[in-house]
Chains A and B, each alone.
Chain A
Amino acid sequence: DTAVSQTPKYLVTQMGNDKSIKCEQNLGHDTMYWYKQDSKKFLKIMFSYNNKELIINETVPNRFSPKSPDKAHLNLHINSLELGDSAVYFCASSGGAGINQPQHFGDGTRLSIL
């Protein structure tokens, strides 16, 4: 029944490793997003995809590479993890990329870098 699901929920790894986070939505939405929430709970958009095409890339380091195999999935791969990457990463989806389209969020992936 989960509308937007992310895996894993927790990710603990060492600096320098490469990791991936997966996201799937079963809402039939066209647009998907990745957000980063820092320790102060500030939520900031990283990427958005509309029908598998990248439409927002918010000056995120190129160590972060999103991939959308189909419009129901948007995965996030992170290379050479750094301490500053520790955060909660949220996936979201919406019916479209225009205004007045509520975004629905997953439960987040808590990434901790040792």
Chain B
Amino acid sequence: SQELEQSPQSLIVQEGKNLTINCTSSKTLYGLYWYKQKYGEGLIFLMMLQKGGEEKSHEKITAKLDEKKQQSSLHITASQPSHAGIYLCGADRETSNTGKLIFGQGTTLQVKP
């Protein structure tokens, strides 16, 4: 089983609709990162969440980390075709200085015009 579980695995929404992607861990997360990947390109860093209950926003994307630091959600408001891609959550699972990140399996988002 994955150490980080993302749901749903894929999502098709109509342009203008809101959507939420979840990232769940069975263990405490020391840092949570959201990335977006477009086909044929690298991962684009979106946001980092560190503290339980923290919430950050960038344009129409909002990410939250729950109080127990075991689940994060990514919410997109009024989705646009430019939001399409694969969204990945990554997490620090250790406090050692290795930089090791664990990633979820990704959520593929399609936005229909």
Contact = CB atoms under 8 A, between A and B. Distances in A.
Interface residues of A, number: 29
B42 A90 contact: yes
A91 B43 CA distance: 10
B33 A102 contact: yes
B103 A103 contact: no
B106 A41 contact: yes
B101 interface: yes
B63 interface: no
A100 B100 contact: no
B50 interface: yes
Band of interface residues on B: 20 to 34
Interface string A32-56: 0100000011111100101000011
Given A56-B99, A104-B45, A106-B42, A99 B31 contact: yes
Contacts of A40: 105
Given A90-B43, A104-B45, A106-B42, A48 B92 contact: no
A85 B100 CA distance: 21
Interface string A68-111: 00000000000000000000001010101111111111111000
Nearest to A42: B105
A104 B95 CA distance: 20
Contacts of A31: 99
